[in-house]
Amino acid sequence: MEAKESKLSFETALEKLESIVEEMESGDVPLAELLAKFEEGSKLLHVCEARLKAAELRIEQLKKQKDGKPTFEKFETANED
């Protein structure tokens, strides 16, 4: 994943991904540009999946607290390439 994509928020990445899908579905995109958009969309999808996985892990961490009180800890996730 490129540094540019890795810094995007989930919402921004999803918005860009939706825009790419709409352009691709329009049928007005030349093949070379279509391939570039598909590649960009794949990267954005990976960003969205990573953000959702990180959120899921944080939720699980909060649910597993022994005393039932929520505690907030910094949670590091490994960035996948």
Ranges of beta strands (E only) in the chain are none
This prediction has a pTM of 0.68
CA atoms within 13 Å, Cβ hemisphere of 50:
19
CA–CA dist 15, 53 (Å, integer): 18
Helix 10-26 to helix 31-63 angle (10° resolution) is 150
Residue 77 in domain: no
Q: What is the pLDDT of residues 4-40, one digit of tens each?
A: 666 888 999 999 999 999 999 998 889 999 999 999 9
Indicate which CATH number applies to the domain containing 44. 1.10.287
Residue 36 in domain: yes
User: What range does the domain containing 19 cover?
Assistant: 3-63
Residue 35 in domain: yes
Those residues with Cβ within 8 angstroms of residue 37's Cβ, 6 or more apart along the chain or in another chain: 20, 23, 24, 29
| pLDDT grade for 70, boundaries at 50, 70 and 90 | low
Residue 76 in domain: no
Is residue 81 pLDDT above 50, yes or no?
no
pLDDT score at 57: 86
How many domains does one find in the chain? 1
CA–CA dist 61, 78 (Å, integer): 16
Residue 71 in domain: no
